[in-house]
């Protein structure tokens, strides 16, 4: 059986503004559809894109002129790889505080779940930042083709 | 996302269709807040047509649960789809919210 070739890299870049969230979500939805990624993995990738973009829009670039968010997407050997590049304030996801999942509803804070969901749903999360190239987040998700 | 509101047996049911995300969660919260402001405290969210939620949707849910419970009521979920259920579970929401298989069961739970 012939090996499935690696896909081309799809790329999109838009300023980090809330009104552009739909463009980022549309990008990942279309990429997952074109690669026939299963619904569970597609859901997880869409959620990861939303959470990362919302963090950049609301926090990373807060108080700054909204800079770019660049998404690169490719698949290879049953793994979808999403790379997010930005020039916002660096934030290492390993530093994101873990939410307390055991508080009752009245004591649970509203918020703080984005990074937790990304880490739970993605198979790999890697991050690096430097002053010249900016920030780069890699997210990987195994999938099956449907 | 579409949200419609109807009332059955003095229970307010929010029927949510589509996706609740960073673009739509505020509108959902506004609709739910409006009902609570009007005195509705026994609430059900019909998730049978909810295809997707992110943490934005969870915030809207939790905010409404807190308000309803502080007024002696609640927000209960009905017919949650598997992938939305997974997000609720990963967030610890399945242990703090009441979930039912369908809307009639959720409505009856207030009896």
Encode pLDDT of A51-85 as tens digits: 999 999 999 999 999 999 999 999 999 999 999 99
Instruction: Look up the pTM and report it.
Output: 0.94
pLDDT at A132: 92
Could you tell me which residues are beta bridge partners of residue A138?
Answer: A83, A126
Side-chain-facing half-sphere of B33: CA atoms under 13 Å: 10
What's the mean pLDDT in B39-67?
97
Rounded CA-CA distance B28/B60 in Å is 7
Tokens of B41: 């405290």
If you ran DSSP here, which 8-state letter would residue A30 be given?
Answer: H
DSSP state of A64: S
The domains of chain B are located at 2-103
Q: What is the DSSP string of A85-116?
A: EE-S----GGGSPPP-SSS-GGGS-S---HHH
Report the residue from B23, B91, B97 with minimal CB separation from A113: B91
Q: Do residue B58 and residue A113 have CB atoms under 8 angstroms apart?
A: yes
> Is the Cβ–Cβ distance between A138 and A118 less than 8 Å?
no
Exposed, middle or buried, B99 (CB in 10 Å: 0-12/13-18/19+)?
middle
Interface predicted TM-score of the whole assembly (ipTM), two decimals: 0.94
- List, as ranges, residues 27-46 from A with C-beta within 8 Å of B: 39-40, 43, 46
Separation in Å, CA B68 to CA B41, B71, B77, B86: 5, 5, 13, 24
- Phi and psi (nearest 5°) for A98? -70, 135
Among A42, A105, A121, the strongest candidate for a mutation testing the B interface, having the largest count of B CBs within 10 A, is A105
B contacts of A117 (beta carbons < 8 Å):
54-55, 87, 90-91
> Does B52 lie at the interface with A, CB-CB under 8 angstroms?
yes
Question: Domain A10-142 classified CATH 3.30.565.10?
Answer: yes
Give the pLDDT mean for A129-144. Answer: 96
CA B4, CA B50: separation in Å to the nearest integer?
A: 12
Neighbours of B92 (CB within 10 A): 19
Which residue in A has a C-alpha nearest to residue B81's C-alpha?
A40
Residue B6 Cα, gap to closest chain A Cα (Å): 25
Residue with tokens 């307010």: B12
- CA atoms within a 13 Å half-sphere pointing along the CA-CB vector of A67: 18
The 3-state DSSP class for residue A48 equals helix
Confidence band for B108, pLDDT divided at 50, 70 and 90: very high
Contacts of A102 in chain B (CB under 8 A): 92, 95
Question: B56 in contact with A at a CB cutoff of 8 Å?
Answer: yes
To the question of domain B2-103 being in CATH 3.30.750.24, the answer is yes
On chain B, the residues whose CB falls within 8 A of the CB of A113 are 55, 58, 91
């Amino acid at each position: 059986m012939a090996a499935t070739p690696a896909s081309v890299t799809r790329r999109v870049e838009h300023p980090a503004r809330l009104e552009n969230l739909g463009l980022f979500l549309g990008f990942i939805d279309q990429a997952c559809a074109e690669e026939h990624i299963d619904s569970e993995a597609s859901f997880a990738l869409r959620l990861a894109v939303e959470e990362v973009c919302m963090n950049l829009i609301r926090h990373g670039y807060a108080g700054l002129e909204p800079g770019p968010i660049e998404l690169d997407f490719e698949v290879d050997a049953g793994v979808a790889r999403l790379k997010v590049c930005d020039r916002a304030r660096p934030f290492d996801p390993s530093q994101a505080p873990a939410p307390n999942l055991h508080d009752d509803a009245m004591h649970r804070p509203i918020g703080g779940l984005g990074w937790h969901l990304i880490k739970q749903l993605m198979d790999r999360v890697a991050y690096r930042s430097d002053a010249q190239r900016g920030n780069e987040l890699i997210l990987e998700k195994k999938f099956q083709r449907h | 996302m579409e949200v419609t509101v109807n009332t059955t047996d003095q229970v307010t049911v929010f029927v949510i269709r589509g996706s609740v995300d960073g673009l739509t969660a505020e509108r959902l919260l506004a609709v739910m807040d409006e009902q609570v402001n009007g005195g509705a405290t026994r609430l059900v969210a019909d998730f049978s047509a909810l295809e997707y939620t992110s943490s934005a949707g969870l915030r809207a849910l939790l905010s409404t649960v807190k308000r309803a419970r502080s007024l002696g009521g609640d927000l209960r979920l009905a017919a949650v789809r598997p992938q939305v259920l997974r997000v609720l579970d990963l967030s610890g929401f399945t242990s703090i919210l009441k979930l039912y298989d369908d809307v009639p069961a959720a409505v009856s739970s207030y009896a």
